[in-house]
Every structure is written in C-alpha cells, then in structure tokens.
Amino acid sequence: MRRVDAVIMAGLAFTLGFVLGMVIQLPVITLPLNEKHFENTDPKFGVRSGSEGSARKQLSPDNPLRLLKPSTHGVVYPQNNGTNSYLLGQGDYGGSQHASSGTSPARESVIRNRESAERPAVVDGVLWSEATEKKCPGGFTEEDQKSWKSKIDKTKVVKLETGCGRMQNRMATFKDAVRACVRYRVNTDQLQGEIFSYYLSKLLGIDNVPPSSLHLVNTMDDRWRTVTGEIANSKWADDKVVIFTQFVEGLKPSYIPVEFRDEDRKLHPRQDLIHSKGPEDLCDLVQWSDLIVFDYLTANLDRVVNNMFNRQWNPNMMNTPAHNLERTSGGRLIFLDNESGLFHGYRLLDKYASYHRTLLDALCVFRNSTARAIERLHHSGSVGEELNKMFSQNEALFNQIPRLPQKNAKILQQRISDVYDQIQKCKKQYA
C-alpha cells in the first residue's frame, strides 16, 4: 500500500512540475492565430513590456507595427505594408513563409491578379499607352506661343541684366514683371539653330521647348528706351535680331534616367523596370523618349551628349544633372539652349554622331503623336519645306536671318528616316 501511495504522489509531483514549467516558459507577447482577429479595419495588438499593465497600442500608417518594442523573448512581428489587413498563415505564428508579407499564398495570388487586371497598360506595343500619357503634366501650347509673341511685341522692357547663359545673353524683365531670356549672337547660325529647333519641336508636337520668337533691338523704340544703358553695356548692336525665350520660374536640375546612364543602356517595352516605375518616373521616361528623338534629329551636342562625351574625364558625369535640361515643380521637362541644333551640330557629326546613335539604339518606346509625326515626315520627304514655311508664317522678321539651307534639310530628312527605321525595328522585335 505504501508503495502504491508513493507511485501516485510521484506522478502528481511530475505532472505539477511539467505544468508549472510550461507556464514559466510562455512568451510575454502572444499573437492570435485566427484570421478573424485581423480582419478588423482598426486592428490592435496587446503589447506588454514585462508588466501586466502596459497600454495597448493602435496600428496605423503613422504607427507601424515595426516601431513597437520587440518582446524580450524575440517574438517576430509581421511587417506593416501600409494596409490595415494582417493575414498570417495557418499554424504557429511566424511559421508561414508568407507571414512577413502579411498575405497567404491564395490571397496573394488573388490580389496580384486583381491588380494586374486593374492596372492600365504602361505601353501599347512600342508606344506609351494613352493612360500613361494622361498622367503626365501638359507642356507649352499654341496659345502660349501666341500670348508670348503678343507680349514681346507690345510690352516694355524695364530691366536688362546678365543671365541666361554665357557671353552676351541677357535676362530681360518686362513691365508686368514677366521675364525672358534674350539670346544675342554674332554668328547667325546659332540664332538659326535656336529658332529652327523650336519650330521643329512644334512640327513634331513635342511641347517641352519654351515659346521663342525673333525680335529686333531698337533703342529708338519706346519698348527699349528704359534699358538703352544696359544695351550699350552689353555691347549689343542696334537693329540686331535677338531671340526672346520665355523664362520659366522655379526650375530644378533634371538627372539622366538610369536606363540611359550605363553602357548597356536600354528602354524597351518588355523590361520589368517599366512596370515597376511610379507615375512620376514614367512621365520622365515618356518625355525622355521625346528628348532622345528631338536631340537625334537636331544633332544637339550640348545636352546629354555633353555628359556622355565628358565621361572620359569624369566617370561620374552620367550621374550629374543633364546639361541644358531642367524640370518644373510639376515634373515637366524643359529643353533649354538648342542653339547647336541643325547647324553647328550637323557640322560636327563626324565627331559626335556615335553618341546620338547610341541613345537612339537604346530607345524602343515612343510617344504616339511623335511616332505619327515621324512617319508622316518620313513618307512626305518634305521636312525642310514644312519647317521653312512654318518659320516664315509665324515670324514677322523671317527675312532677317537665312532660312534652313537645302543641305541641312537633307541631313534632317535622313535623320527622320533613321528614327522611323528604329521605330519599325522595335515594332518587329516587340510585335
């Protein structure tokens, strides 16, 4: 009998010891395992930091779960991915491989398929989709150009000061406080390059170039009389043609997208990069596709080619702001200083053509309207005639500087065909 009692007492002692041991080893923080606990739109977790009376903390975007103090027992919290749903896999907390993403495999698949169906296409073949373009800020309009021409024809210049680049360029301030960059050049071809590049952008429907127009310096004109002293100090000749370009306030530097920085540069429609970009980055790429086409046609060597060429002395050159390219606070790129286009750039094609070609070869996504304009001009073969006609119809002083020469028109027409061929090549590759 004593032996039986001893066995019973030993069994009771072992059982009590085991239960007591399990209680002591329980973690300070416990997480519920039932998904119903997490479906509340205002989820909360009970948190203790060693004492029973700790306050419960509410989770929100301003108070993410990862900011809560971890348990002294090392309990791993699920990550807050910016949603109000915290779904853990079935079984022990932290035991599911999907716990950190907050989504079960089945739910993750449903969400992924739903997002894919709801997300507008970024590209349509080799063209930026309409949905993508609609999210981008608008550029300069035909009305902006008309308004600008009216202003410089009628409004008095009250201040002329250094600015807007090197040499004899000046910043002009009108009576209504609006400002303009005034381009003064001794060499006519630099004025031609600036003004004809502007009208080419209009012919292509590229709206990133600020409104520009020819004007005549005339110290006897009432619009100039207030600044005759500044004109003399600038060593401007009277009755000299200048270009007034609208000054855009609040511009910031613009950087070259990563797609075009390295030797393996490429922007093609099947890249995962395109589909992982946010709206602002996508709009940059939409505008950069126009910039590469525009600079290829004009052979502008004073923008991205400037960065590429100088990389041989400065390896970080492609990580610095693009030359003569700025952006507005709303994300619109502004193509500045195009005076090397169509004239000076064409004379230096032997030296710089490879840089332009490298950028064009890297591009396989185009803006729809730009691609249509290229196709039309390629088939018509009349870009020179159209450009000269647009210039003479819009500029009262068109006879003050030479028209686009036939030689330059032929080079431009060939470069339009180059862009057209690149578009066709991309279509065949990504049909």
**275 and 415 both lie in a single domain:** yes
Give residue 107's pLDDT: 53
Residue 84: inside a domain, yes or no? yes
Residue 398: inside a domain, yes or no? yes
Residue 101: inside a domain, yes or no? yes
CA dihedral sign, ordered 67, 73, 76, 77: negative
Q: Which residue has the higher pLDDT, 84 or 297?
A: 297
Give residue 163's pLDDT: 86
Q: pLDDT tens digit string along 205-258? A: 999 999 999 999 999 999 999 999 999 999 999 999 999 999 999 999 999 999
Residue 193: inside a domain, yes or no? no
Average pLDDT of span 190-197 = 96
**67 and 134 both lie in a single domain:** no
Residue type at 250 in one-letter notation: G
Report the number of distinct structural domains present in the chain: 2
pLDDT confidence band for 91 (50 / 70 / 90): very low
Residue type at 195 in one-letter notation: I
**323 and 350 both lie in a single domain:** yes
- Whether the pLDDT of residue 394 is over 70: the answer is yes
Give residue 264's pLDDT: 86
- Whether the pLDDT of residue 80 is over 50: the answer is no
Average pLDDT of span 3-28 = 51
Give residue 276's pLDDT: 83
- Whether the pLDDT of residue 324 is over 50: the answer is yes
**86 and 134 both lie in a single domain:** no
Q: pLDDT tens digit string along 397-418? A: 999 999 999 999 999 999 999 9
Average pLDDT score, the chain? 79
Average pLDDT of span 369-375 = 98
**133 and 80 both lie in a single domain:** no
**71 and 129 both lie in a single domain:** no
Between CA 224 and CA 158 the distance in angstroms is: 8
Average pLDDT of span 174-200 = 94
Q: pLDDT tens digit string along 266-310? A: 999 976 777 788 999 999 999 999 999 999 999 999 999 999 999
Residue 379: inside a domain, yes or no? yes
Q: pLDDT tens digit string along 205-214? A: 999 999 999 9
Residue 58: inside a domain, yes or no? no
Torsion on CA atoms 349, 355, 356, 362, rounded to nearest 10: 160
Give residue 9's pLDDT: 60
For 408, the domain range is 123-138+251-429
Polymer length in residues for the chain: 431
**323 and 415 both lie in a single domain:** yes
Residue 9: inside a domain, yes or no? no
Residue 128: inside a domain, yes or no? yes
C-alpha 370: how far from its chain's center? 18
Residue 276 near residue 258 (C-beta atoms within 8 A): no
Facing residues of 366 across strands?
A: 127
